[in-house]
């Protein structure tokens, strides 16, 4: 239980990558704070089930990551934040000249500005303890680009830049800041797209994954939420104490091209 005694706040964590990260941090012994914009009984039940499964404390706190004050309040309500995982994100696909302004604003707010606000709120406590981990879930699109994803690519590049600045500002204070850059990850959202892609392309599951969905991922394999979570656990460990201000790609070779 290498993270016993540490509290981890994971934004956007009631499903997908965020949930996978929260589970792996709990497995490593951390107290975990789950978060999303909803406030349903099942959100709180999910946190309780993680706590019971791994024998740790786990809570769910609702907060709208598009709202800066709510982002900062999340950290305050957590009662401490040793490990901050900024994962919340949304996506919209359209050409620049047709990109809805409200979608641009929402993506920048949730994917980038939320990380600024939560980090700003968490750093004073980390500095006081002389220990902290800021882990930003960026993307392969934080290092490269694709057409029709202007807001997402801009936000994720911004997350990588914010990560570097954070690392420099807290260097030597026992705090690290790094970005995980996943490629395509097999989440429930992606899993739900596979049957439709099979029908459109008249291919079996393995072929449509390899030849259609993962054309930019040389391994032709999805990363898993457990692998992203395991990377977060490593970055939170003592072994990663001198890893800061950098990106770790979990993308099957995408950004090596």
Which structure tokens are listed for 69? Answer: 């004050």
Instruction: Report d(CA 64, CA 71) in Å as an integer.
Output: 7
pLDDT on residue 1: 78
Which among 19, 118, 38 has a CA at the least distance from the CA of 77? 118
Model pTM score: 0.96
Q: Is 126 exposed, middle or buried (0-12, 13-18, 19+ CB in 10 A)?
A: buried
Instruction: Report d(CA 23, CA 230) in Å as an integer.
Output: 10
Q: In what order do the strands lie in the sheet with 175-182?
A: 58-62, 31-36, 7-10, 83-86, 132-137, 175-182, 247-250
Instruction: Report d(CA 72, CA 125) in Å as an integer.
Output: 13
DSSP 14: S
Instruction: Report d(CA 120, CA 123) in Å as an integer.
Output: 6
Sequence-separated contacts (24+) of 140-146 with Cβ below 8 Å: 140/181, 140/182, 140/183, 140/216, 140/249, 140/251, 140/254, 140/255, 142/179, 142/181, 142/247, 143/181, 143/247, 143/249, 143/255, 144/254, 144/255
Active site residues: 152
pLDDT in tens, the chain (257 residues): 799 999 999 999 999 999 999 999 999 999 999 999 999 999 999 999 999 999 999 999 999 999 999 999 999 999 999 999 999 999 999 999 999 999 999 999 999 999 999 999 999 999 999 999 999 999 999 999 999 999 999 999 999 999 999 999 999 999 999 999 999 999 998 999 999 999 999 999 999 999 999 999 999 999 999 999 999 999 999 999 999 999 999 999 999 98
pLDDT on residue 189: 86
Q: β-strands 175-182, 132-137: how paired?
A: parallel
pLDDT on residue 160: 98
pLDDT on residue 60: 98
Residue with tokens 């309500």: 77
Q: Is 119 helix (H, G, I), strand (E, B) or coil?
A: helix
Residue 135 φ/ψ, nearest 5 degrees? -125, 115
């Amino acid at each position: 239980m290498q993270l016993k005694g540490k509290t981890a706040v994971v934004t956007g964590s009631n499903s997908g990558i965020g949930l996978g990260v929260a589970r792996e941090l709990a497995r490593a012994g951390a107290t975990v704070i789950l978060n999303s914009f909803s406030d349903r009984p099942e959100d709180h039940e999910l946190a309780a089930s993680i706590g019971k499964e791994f024998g740790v404390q786990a809570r769910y706190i609702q907060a709208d990551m598009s709202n800066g004050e709510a982002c900062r309040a999340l950290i305050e309500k957590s009662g401490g934040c040793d490990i901050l995982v900024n994962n919340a994100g949304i996506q919209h696909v359209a050409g620049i000249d047709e990109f809805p302004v409200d979608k641009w604003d929402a993506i920048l707010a949730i994917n980038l500005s939320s990380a600024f606000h939560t980090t700003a709120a968490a750093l004073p406590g980390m500095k006081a303890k002389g220990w902290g981990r800021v882990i930003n879930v960026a993307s392969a699109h934080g290092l490269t680009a694709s057409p029709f994803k202007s807001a997402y690519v801009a936000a994720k590049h911004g997350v990588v830049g914010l990560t570097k600045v954070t690392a420099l500002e807290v260097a030597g204070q026992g705090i690290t800041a790094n970005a995980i850059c996943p490629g395509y990850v097999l989440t429930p959202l992606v899993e739900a797209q596979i049957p439709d892609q099979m029908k459109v392309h008249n291919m079996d599951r393995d072929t449509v994954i390899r030849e259609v969905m993962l054309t930019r991922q040389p391994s032709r394999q999805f990363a898993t939420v457990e692998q992203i979570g395991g990377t977060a656990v490593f970055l939170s460990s003592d072994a990663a104490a001198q890893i800061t201000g950098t990106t770790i790609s979990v993308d099957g070779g995408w950004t090596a091209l």
